[in-house]
Amino acid sequence: MAQNNTLVSAEEYLTAGVHIGTKFKNAYSKKFILKSRSDGLKIIDTEQVDLKLKALITLASKYDASDIVVMGRRENVKKPLKVFSKLVGCDVITGRYLPGKLTNTALDSFREYKLVIVCDPLTDKNILNEAFEQGAVIAGFCDTNNVTNKLDLVIPINNKGKKSMALAFYLLAKHYLVNRGTIKESEFTNTVEDFCDE
């Protein structure tokens, strides 16, 4: 159960591993890091995770699903994105990104999106660069080693973990649908496990 108006309890965030960063940090991630463990792994502040997830929910809720695309090439986000797309109705890209999809009007697959969400600014750099060029609003799930200079909204999180990303997309789907008036909160019957392979 959530405490102090958080989306979920601190314990649920910790169980999902949202706080586990990499051994690297940079100028972009410094403000989200709570501490470093003795093994060098950086610990992300779960309060910042919650705050930025709320900001993403608010941002995404301003857009129709048809104006949103989510990109995730890593294996750990394929299931969460598939479930998210099915529930919300937005486009997702989980494989190779076809260059020019956002910028080349001659392509049959050309699309203009208002909101582009990337699961990792490094592995999803092609769509990130095109979205930046196109002028779309860009949100990104970022670990402690990610460069965030092209993002309008940074969500600090363990973006390499299955459970952490499953929780993030579960929360985004649930609150997006409620905020858009599609369902009442009590009508959202999916669980975090539905978004996770494990």
Question: What does pTM read for this prediction?
Answer: 0.94
pLDDT at 1 over 70: no
CA distances to 122, 157, 170, 196 from 163, rounded to whole Å, are 20, 11, 10, 6
CA distances to 82, 149, 163, 167 from 76, rounded to whole Å, are 11, 24, 8, 12
* pLDDT > 90 fraction of the chain, expressed in percent and rounded: 83
H or E element: which one contains 141? strand 137-142
Query: 184: phi > 0 → left, psi -120 to 50 → alpha, else beta; which?
Result: beta
**pLDDT tens, 5-14?**
999 999 999 9
Q: How many residues does the chain have?
A: 198
pLDDT at 27 over 80: no
Q: What domains, with CATH codes, occur in the chain? A: 10-195 (3.40.50.10490)
User: Comparing C-alpha atoms, which of 146, 197, 137, 194 is closest to residue 170?
Assistant: 194
Mean pLDDT, the chain, rounded, equals: 93
**pLDDT tens, 76-87?**
999 999 999 999
